[in-house]
C-alpha cells in the first residue's frame, strides 16, 4: 500500500493505532473531525466531517487503502448515529469507489452481535443481533461493505472489534479483549492479504473464554499474541466493583444490552 487513509485517528483506538502503524506503512494520512493534540510535524492530517461527502472525497483522494475507524463509538441518540455512522460510512465507501481505492478495513463492533447470550459460541455466519442503535449502524457498515465488494470489486474486511486496551477491563472484556498489536495484525491482513474480497473477522486476541469462533481470521494467517486470561485476577477484581447488571451479564454486549432494556413491556 503506497498511501493509506486512517479515519477516526483522534479516538481511543485511533490514538493507539497511530503509534503502531507509523512504523509499518511509510505514507499515512490521518483524519478525524478534530486534530489529535500530539501530532508530529511530519504527520499528514486532514480534518473531515464524515457526514459531508465532499469532505470525505478530499481525504480519500490519492489513497490506495482506507482503515475506517471514524464515527460515534458508543450508543447515542438516533440523529447522532445516523449522521456519524450511517451517512458517514456510506460516504466513506462511496468516496472510496469514486476515487478507485482498492481496499477498505472497516471497524465494525462486537455490538453488531451483542444480543447473543454469553453461553453461545458464534461464528461469522450467524444472523446479526445488534444490541443498540450503535450496533445497528455497525451492521449497516458491514452490509454496505459487502455491496461495494460484490458490486464494485472493492476488497473489504470488517473487524468486529471487541475491546481494545492494554488489559481486559472486566469479566466481559476478558472474553473480547483485543491487544492493540493484534488489531494491527488484523488490519494488515485486510490491507495486504492477496485473497481478501469480502471478509468478516472477530477483533479478539487469543482469549481463553472467547465466545467467538475466529477461524476465518486464522485461515488468513491471524496468530494473536494477547491472551486475556493472563489478566484474570485484575479483571475479576474490577468486575467486583461494578453494580449488578442481570441483563447485561447474560448477553455478550453487556451494558449495551441493558441500556433502555424493557423487553418485558410487551408481555
Which residues here bind ligand 15L, judged by CB under 6 A? Answer: 73-74, 109-111, 163, 173
- Is 222 a known active-site residue? no
Hey, what's the cell of 6? 486512517
Residue 235 · residue 170 · CB < 8 Å = yes
* Of residues 25 and 205, the one with the C-beta less far from ligand 15L: 205
Interatomic CA distance for residues 166 and 16, integer angstroms: 10
Residue of 116, 134, 148, 251 marked active site: 134
What Å distances lie between residue 141 and 80, 86, 120, 151, 152, CA to CA? Answer: 15, 7, 24, 15, 16
| Phi, psi for 202 (deg, rounded to 5) | -85, 135
Give Dmax over CA atoms of the chain in angstroms. Answer: 60
CB of 109 to ligand 15L, least distance (A): 3
81/87 Cα distance (integer angstroms): 9
| Closer Cβ to ligand 15L, 103 or 172, answer by number | 172
Element (H, E) at 68: strand 65-68
Nearest approach, Cβ of 9 to ligand 15L (angstroms)?
A: 15
Smallest gap from Cβ 160 to ligand 15L, in A, equals 9
Q: How far is the CB of 74 from ligand 15L (least distance, A)?
A: 5
- Closest to ligand 15L by CB, 73 vs 171, is 73
- Closer residue to ligand 15L, CB minimum distance, 112 or 154: 112
CB of 181 to ligand 15L, least distance (A): 18
In angstroms, rounded to a whole number, what is the distance separating the alpha carbons of residues 3 and 18? 14
Q: Cα–Cα distance between 88 and 201 in angstroms, integer?
A: 22
For 127, residues 6+ apart whose C-beta sits below 8 A from its C-beta are: none
Q: CA 173, CA 162: separation in Å to the nearest integer?
A: 8
- Closer to ligand 15L by Cβ: residue 110 or 214: 110
- Work out how close the CB of 52 gets to ligand 15L at its nearest, in angstroms, rounded to a whole number: 22
Q: Which is nearer to ligand 15L, 94 or 249 (CB)?
A: 249
Quote the DSSP letter at residue 244: P
According to DSSP, residue 42 is labeled T
CA–CA dist 115, 122 (Å, integer): 11
- For the annotated catalytic residues, the residue numbers are 134
Amino acid at each position: 500500500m503506497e498511501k493509506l487513509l486512517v479515519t477516526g485517528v483522534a479516538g481511543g483506538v485511533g490514538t493507539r493505532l497511530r503509534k503502531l502503524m507509523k512504523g509499518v506503512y511509510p505514507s499515512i494520512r490521518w483524519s478525524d473531525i478534530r486534530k489529535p493534540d500530539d501530532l508530529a510535524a511530519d504527520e499528514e492530517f486532514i480534518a473531515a466531517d464524515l457526514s459531508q461527502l465532499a469532505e470525505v472525497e478530499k481525504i480519500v483522494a490519492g489513497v490506495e487503502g482506507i482503515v475506517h475507524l471514524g464515527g460515534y463509538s458508543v450508543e447515542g441518540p438516533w440523529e447522532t448515529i445516523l449522521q456519524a455512522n450511517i451517512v458517514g460510512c456510506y460516504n466513506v465507501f462511496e468516496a472510496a469507489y469514486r476515487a478507485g481505492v482498492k481496499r477498505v478495513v472497516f471497524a465494525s463492533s462486537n455490538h453488531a452481535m451483542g444480543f447473543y447470550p454469553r453461553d453461545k459460541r458464534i461464528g461469522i455466519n450467524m444472523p446479526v443481533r445488534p444490541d443498540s442503535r450503535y450496533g445497528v449502524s455497525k451492521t449497516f457498515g458491514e452490509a454496505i461493505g459487502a455491496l461495494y465488494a460484490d458490486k464494485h470489486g472493492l476488497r473489504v474486511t470488517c473487524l468486529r472489534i471487541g475491546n481494545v486496551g492494554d488489559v481486559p477491563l472486566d469479566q466481559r472484556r476478558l472474553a473480547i479483549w483485543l491487544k492493540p498489536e493484534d488489531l494491527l495484525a488484523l488490519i494488515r491482513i485486510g490491507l495486504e492479504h492477496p485473497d481478501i474480497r469480502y471478509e468478516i473477522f472477530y477483533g479478539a486476541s487469543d482469549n481463553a473464554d472467547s465466545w467467538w469462533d475466529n477461524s476465518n481470521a486464522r485461515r488468513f494467517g491471524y496468530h494473536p499474541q494477547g491472551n486475556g486470561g493472563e489478566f484474570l485476577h485484575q479483571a475479576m477484581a474490577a468486575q467486583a466493583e461494578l453494580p449488578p447488571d442481570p441483563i447485561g451479564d447474560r448477553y455478550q454486549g453487556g451494558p449495551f444490552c441493558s441500556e433502555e432494556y424493557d423487553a418485558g413491556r410487551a408481555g
